[in-house]
Amino acid sequence: MFTPIYGPVTSWRYGTSLGIDLIGDVSTCSFDCAYCQLGEIERKTQQRQIFVPTQEVIEALNAYAPWSVDIVTFSGSGEPTLAENLGEAIAAVKALTQKPVLVLSNATLLNQPDVRAALNQADRVSLKLDAPNRDLLRRINRPVPALSWEGILEGLHQFRRDYSGLLDIQTMLLSPWSPQQQQAYQDLIAQLHPHEIQLNTPTRPKPVGHQLDGRGNHHQGDRPYAVHQLKAVSREVLQEFAEHLQRAIAIPVRYAPSPH
């Protein structure tokens, strides 16, 4: 059964995190990433709407008081910026819990002023950037047709100019990149100048269908549902790329602790 609050989960990036899901029980995203832990996205769209009313979130959150977590994270069953009440919900959660708020976003709607205004209320935003070029974007993230590489880049730059909180870039590597791809990524990151880069690689197989527990990234052992195995890179590849980036652009890079 759907609840708009999940966890707390332990994140290698952010410590103990209570999850908030403004999307609901139908997975909804403007991407359909090859590695998505929600399974194949059920509703692929870039149209914003209200899926879960803010009041429902606040009522569910009250049951978790006193919120003994490091951070409250908006993520869940799809892309949080698709929720038109994201800004309202962030403000309400901050007022109630007095905890820092993080949003994990796929960065596809950042060229919309309302989306940037909503995210501006978060203390920290982690933006997905898995592809250094149009072709990889199409193959890894599989965006809805209305989205373009140029539009996503424009949104990233607009957001960078506006945002005064902590900005992270999260990047999932499914296979090693060529020197040209690495350079293109490095150039982009240097322009965006995030607080931190987080490199990751799939460590779990992808569910075939939508599984709500994919929200929490906490399932261990055998799963009671069908999965696809995913390509991943070795820890050495992540480490080498992290060290290269850190030397080249002097921005802190963290990478997942125990990938395959």
- How many beta carbons lie within 10 A of that of residue 216, not counting itself? 19
Kindly tell me which of 41 and 167 has the beta carbon lying closer to ligand SF4. 41
- How many beta carbons lie within 10 A of that of residue 162, not counting itself? 13
Kindly tell me which of 97 and 129 has the beta carbon lying closer to ligand SF4. 129
- Closest among 73, 26, 72 to 49, alpha carbons compared: 26
Q: What's the burial of 207, exposed, middle or buried (CB within 10 Å: 0-12/13-18/19+)? A: buried
Which stretch, 24-32, 177-185, 199-207, 236-244, contacts ligand SF4 (CB under 6 A)? 24-32
Residue from 7, 19, 24, 78 binding ligand SF4 (CB under 6 A): 78
Separation between Cα atoms, residue 145 and residue 108, nearest integer Å? 12
How many chain residues are in contact with ligand SF4, going by CB under 6 A?
11
CA distances (Å), origin 178, targets 190, 197, 220: 18, 19, 33
Strands 5-11 and 15-21: antiparallel
Which stretch, 1-9, 33-41, 84-92, 189-197, contacts ligand SF4 (CB under 6 A)? 33-41
Which residues make Cβ contacts (< 8 Å) with residue 47, sequence separation at least 6? 82
Residue 87, SS3 per DSSP: helix
CA distances (Å), origin 151, targets 104, 109, 157, 206: 19, 9, 10, 28
Which stretch, 29-37, 220-228, 229-237, 249-257, contacts ligand SF4 (CB under 6 A)? 29-37
Residue from 5, 29, 52, 93 binding ligand SF4 (CB under 6 A): 29
- For position 240 contacting ligand SF4 by CB under 6 A, the verdict is no
Which stretch, 30-38, 51-59, 150-158, 183-191, contacts ligand SF4 (CB under 6 A)? 30-38
Residue from 2, 9, 25, 32 binding ligand SF4 (CB under 6 A): 32
Sequence letter at residue 136: L
Query: According to DSSP H, which parts of 163-234 are helical?
Result: 179-192
Residue from 18, 36, 136, 173 binding ligand SF4 (CB under 6 A): 36
Residue from 11, 46, 106, 200 binding ligand SF4 (CB under 6 A): 106
- For position 126 contacting ligand SF4 by CB under 6 A, the verdict is no
Residue from 22, 38, 83, 230 binding ligand SF4 (CB under 6 A): 38
Residue from 20, 41, 129, 197 binding ligand SF4 (CB under 6 A): 41
Separation between Cα atoms, residue 36 and residue 51, nearest integer Å? 20
Residues in touch with ligand SF4 (CB under 6 A): 29, 31-33, 36, 38, 41, 78-79, 106, 128
